[in-house]
């Protein structure tokens, strides 16, 4: 593996001597490594990633999106005269051919970013301040992209947040039942299907013109934002593969899904899974602190609902993958996708039971 990573790194414009490469992060899709180089006696880090091209089938278009978005944010920060510019947006390292990616001998696409130091991601948020800062950073990211010039961003995965399509895929997987697992999950399937009427609501509001399409991140898992080690400020939004046209709710909903429960996404003890209202409040206030300036009334109104919808949607995806034999998300034990699905559905119940309070809070914030 050492030689393999070293060889891939040699295809990028990185100076100095390769020292090491270690697996990094807990993402379910790509393979990420922290790379260390010795440059004239100083150790420097990079993030090297192998793109999962089973999931991302149009990697060139994806990388064009990522380049446009990071360049745009970079230019904005530069104009604002902020310090430590290279900590506040991902910065691609180019290949010797001047491209923001390389194809390795393994045939996969690889890319490399400057590593952002003195900041880290969290799988579970510990304090309301962390929730506030993370949500503020994601809202700021959307705001930065409101004026992205040029053509519409490429739709990296069509219908990525089309919840009715996700439910249709679940029904198909349940009907086909290729692994013979359906008998274990009838309750989970019923839970989702009994909420099917909610699934198309945001898409309908988009069609009717009430909710506009914007540029969204679409994977605002709380571990996709780096928080500063000292100040806890949101330093940089990362994991930009799914940045594409979307609704703001896809982002806010996923923050609620991943930022409000005190338990991990794959926790097996469901009594530990619930929505902490104070975390929801911090996420809402943090998000509005940077996004209120561009949101319309309907977008605002459906923020609490989005937490429920996106949690149900990802639960649906985990269940579908379980039924299909764990072909999409990386798994590390038997039943892993089912455990993940169950936490999501438990969280949906908890969100539902607090929905009135969530909506009232929104009315109080002006």
- Which residues in 233-252 contact ligand GN1 (CB under 6 A)? 239, 242
- For the record, the structure tokens of 104 come out as 């390795």
Q: x/- site string to ligand ADP, residues 12 to 31, per CB under 6 A?
A: ------------xx-x-xx-
| Nearest-angstrom CA–CA distance, 197 and 194 | 8
Among 11, 73, 273, 314, binds ligand GN1 (CB under 6 A): 314
Choose the one of ligand ADP, ligand GN1, Mg ion, none that binds residue 24, judging by a C-beta under 5 to 8 angstroms depending on kind: ligand ADP
Choose the one of ligand ADP, ligand GN1, Mg ion, none that binds residue 55, judging by a C-beta under 5 to 8 angstroms depending on kind: ligand GN1
- Given the complex with ligand ADP, which of 17 and 117 has the nearer CB atom? 117
| Nearest-angstrom CA–CA distance, 306 and 287 | 13
Report if residue 88 touches ligand GN1, rule: CB under 6 A: no
Report if residue 113 touches ligand ADP, rule: CB under 6 A: yes
The stretch near ligand ADP (CB under 6 A) out of 147-155, 221-229, 343-351, 356-364 is 221-229
* CB of 215 vs ligand GN1, minimal distance in Å: 17
Report if residue 342 touches ligand GN1, rule: CB under 6 A: no
Q: Check if the beta carbon of residue 301 is closer than 8 Å to that of residue 292.
A: no
| Nearest-angstrom CA–CA distance, 11 and 9 | 5
Rounded to the nearest 5 percent, the helix, strand and coil shares of the chain are 50, 15, 35
Residue 248, number of CB atoms within 10 A of its CB = 28
Query: Please, which contacts does 171-179 make with residues 24 or more away whose CB atoms are closer than 8 Å?
Result: 173/320, 173/323, 173/324, 174/323, 177/323, 178/323, 178/324, 178/325, 179/323, 179/324, 179/325
- Which residues in 42-81 contact ligand ADP (CB under 6 A)? 47
Per DSSP, the three-state class of 362 is: helix
- Given the complex with ligand ADP, which of 169 and 243 has the nearer CB atom? 243
The stretch near ligand GN1 (CB under 6 A) out of 27-35, 100-108, 132-140, 281-289 is 27-35
Report if residue 219 touches ligand GN1, rule: CB under 6 A: yes
- Given the complex with Mg ion, which of 211 and 237 has the nearer CB atom? 237
Report if residue 238 touches ligand ADP, rule: CB under 6 A: yes
Could you tell me the maximum CA-CA distance found in the chain, to the nearest angstrom?
62
* CB of 222 vs ligand ADP, minimal distance in Å: 10
Compute how many residues bind ligand ADP; rule: CB under 6 A: 17
φ, ψ for residue 317, nearest 5 deg: -65, -40
Report if residue 265 touches ligand GN1, rule: CB under 6 A: yes
Report if residue 110 touches ligand ADP, rule: CB under 6 A: no
* CB of 211 vs ligand ADP, minimal distance in Å: 27
- For the record, the structure tokens of 237 come out as 């939004």
Residue 286, number of CB atoms within 10 A of its CB = 26
């Amino acid at each position: 593996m050492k030689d393999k990573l070293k060889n891939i790194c040699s295809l990028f414009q990185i100076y100095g001597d390769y020292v090491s490469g270690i697996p990094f992060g807990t993402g379910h899709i790509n393979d990420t490594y922290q790379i260390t180089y010795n440059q004239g006696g100083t150790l420097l880090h990079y993030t090297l990633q192998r793109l999962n091209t089973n999931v991302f089938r149009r990697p060139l278009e994806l990388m064009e999106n990522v380049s446009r978005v990071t360049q745009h944010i970079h230019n904005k920060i530069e104009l604002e005269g902020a310090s430590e510019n290279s900590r506040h947006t991902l910065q691609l390292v180019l290949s010797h051919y001047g491209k923001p990616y390389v194809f390795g001998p393994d045939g996969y696409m690889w890319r490399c970013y400057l590593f952002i130091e003195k900041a880290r991601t969290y799988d579970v948020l510990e304090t309301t301040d962390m929730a506030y800062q993370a949500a503020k950073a994601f809202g700021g990211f959307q705001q930065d992209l409101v004026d992205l010039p040029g053509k519409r961003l490429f739709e990296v995965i069509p219908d990525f947040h089309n919840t009715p399509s996700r439910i249709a895929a679940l029904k198909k997987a349940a009907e086909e039942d290729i692994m013979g697992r359906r008998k274990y999950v009838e309750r989970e399937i019923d839970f989702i299907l009994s909420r099917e009427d909610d699934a198309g609501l945001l898409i309908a509001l988009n069609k009717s013109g009430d909710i506009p399409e914007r540029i969204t991140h679409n994977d605002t898992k709380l571990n996709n934002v780096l928080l500063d080690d000292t100040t806890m400020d949101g330093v940089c939004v990362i994991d930009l593969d799914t940045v594409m046209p979307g609704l703001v709710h896809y982002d806010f909903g996923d923050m609620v899904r991943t930022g409000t429960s005190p338990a991990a996404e794959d926790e097996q003890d469901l009594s530990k899974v619930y929505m902490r209202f104070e975390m929801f409040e911090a996420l809402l206030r943090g998000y509005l602190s940077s996004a209120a300036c561009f949101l319309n009334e309907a977008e605002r109104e459906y923020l609490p609902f989005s937490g429920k919808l996106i949690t149900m949607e990802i639960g649906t995806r985990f269940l579908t993958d379980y039924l299909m034999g764990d072909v999409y998300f990386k798994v590390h034990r038997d039943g892993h996708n089912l455990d993940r699905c169950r936490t999501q559905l438990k969280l949906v119940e908890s969100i539902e039971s607090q929905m009135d309070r969530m909506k009232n809070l929104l009315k109080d914030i002006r």
